[in-house]
Amino acid sequence: MIHAEPGLFLRHEPLTAAMPLVVDVSRSGREYPKEYRSPLPFTTVHDNVSMYVEDLWAGTPAAGGTLLYCTFPNTWVDVNRNEADMDPAIVDGQWPKALKPTARTLEGLGLIKTRSRYGEPFQERKLTVAEIEERLSCYYRPYHAELKRIVDETHQRFGVLRQISCHCMSAVGAPTHPDAGKPRADFCISDLKGKTSSAQTMALVVDTLKGLGYSVSVNEPYVGNELIGRHGDPARGIDSIQVEINKKLFMDTKTFRRTEGFNRLKTDLDRLLAVVAADALKKRS
């Protein structure tokens, strides 16, 4: 395990023969910077953390993959958003480059979060250009640089690569989400609607999970974002997939504690990792 600058990332190297597998956990960090502030109660702030995801995928090194875990909170700066995907209203001053906020960002869920998942105002004031730039230069960009380094080195070594970007989701769509109030499947598997993965790898992941007894949706309600968009390149043998796991499978959202389902789920994810890694190795150039 490699710990970079405190509060930035943890990198877990393969424990067995290396495989063409990279797993990133980007939105589960809980190392709050000293200058972190929010007007919301800590319980609400903490509810926006994708909890236990790094534990669920902790079998990655044993499967021969590299696990990169982002340790700062996504509510500080969200590495699964493009740098231009920011609401201009959060900036105190004039941002030096053109911003391209998505509809979800204007609802509060962009690069710099302005609202919680349930719509409460997340920031107590606007942020200066210098404050936002510091978050980008000291947190966001170093994390992306490390993920790119791992992806590039692994792909160069094997000629193929499977990237799994790992997240968790509420059992029912939150008010700020496109499926507000609707129950969700056990898993949502995404590839930006066919852009970041081959159909074969997507089918392998979906069919493996269904074979283990889970319900699976594809690109609904999530299609994926920056982390798979930067690296997925099926034409070059790089298949990048986002995996969202329903929290009802492994945690009590009222107490933030693991449930009895956690161990079974982790065992099944270990099986999925082995299947994906072995399949990728067969296709190495």
The CATH number assigned to the domain holding 176 equals 3.40.630.40
Q: Which long-range contacts (CB under 8 A, 24 or more apart) does 36-45 make?
A: 36/73, 36/76, 37/124, 38/75, 38/122, 38/123, 38/124, 39/121, 39/122, 39/123, 39/124, 40/116, 40/120, 40/121, 40/122, 44/116, 44/118, 44/120, 45/75, 45/116
Does 206 map to a domain? yes
Does 256 map to a domain? yes
What tokens appear for 183 in the block?
Answer: 């129950």
Does 172 map to a domain? yes
Report residue 240's pLDDT band, with 50, 70 and 90 as the boundaries. very high
What tokens appear for 282 in the block?
Answer: 């067969």
Question: What's the pLDDT tens digit per position in 146-202?
Answer: 999 999 999 999 999 999 999 999 999 888 777 888 999 999 999 999 999 999 999
Report, as an integer, the average pLDDT of 219-246. 98
Does 129 map to a domain? no
Query: How far, in Å, CA of 276 to CA of 271, rounded?
Result: 9
Query: How far, in Å, CA of 228 to CA of 1, rounded?
Result: 23
Spatial neighbors of 210 by CB under 8 A, at least 6 apart, are 216
Report, as an integer, the average pLDDT of 259-263. 98
Spatial neighbors of 194 by CB under 8 A, at least 6 apart, are none
Does 169 map to a domain? yes
Does 154 map to a domain? yes
pLDDT at residue 6 above 80?
A: no
| Per-residue model confidence (pLDDT) at position 285 | 56
Report, as an integer, the average pLDDT of 11-20. 97
Bridge partners of residue 9, in order along the sequence = 70
Q: Containing domain of residue 185, as a range?
A: 2-79+146-282
For all residues of the chain together, what is the average pLDDT? 95
Question: What's the pLDDT tens digit per position in 97-151?
Answer: 999 999 989 999 999 999 988 889 999 999 999 999 999 999 999 999 999 999 9
| Per-residue model confidence (pLDDT) at position 5 | 57
Report residue 3's pLDDT band, with 50, 70 and 90 as the boundaries. very low
pLDDT at residue 4 above 60?
A: no
For the chain, how many structural domains are there in total? 1
| Per-residue model confidence (pLDDT) at position 144 | 98
Does 118 map to a domain? no
Report, as an integer, the average pLDDT of 7-14. 94
Does 113 map to a domain? no
What tokens appear for 150 in the block?
Answer: 């791992």
Residues 68, 58 contacting (CB under 8 angstroms): no
Report, as an integer, the average pLDDT of 47-68. 97
Query: How far, in Å, CA of 268 to CA of 1, rounded?
Result: 23
pLDDT at residue 35 above 70?
A: yes
Helix 199-211 / helix 261-282 crossing angle, nearest 10 deg: 150
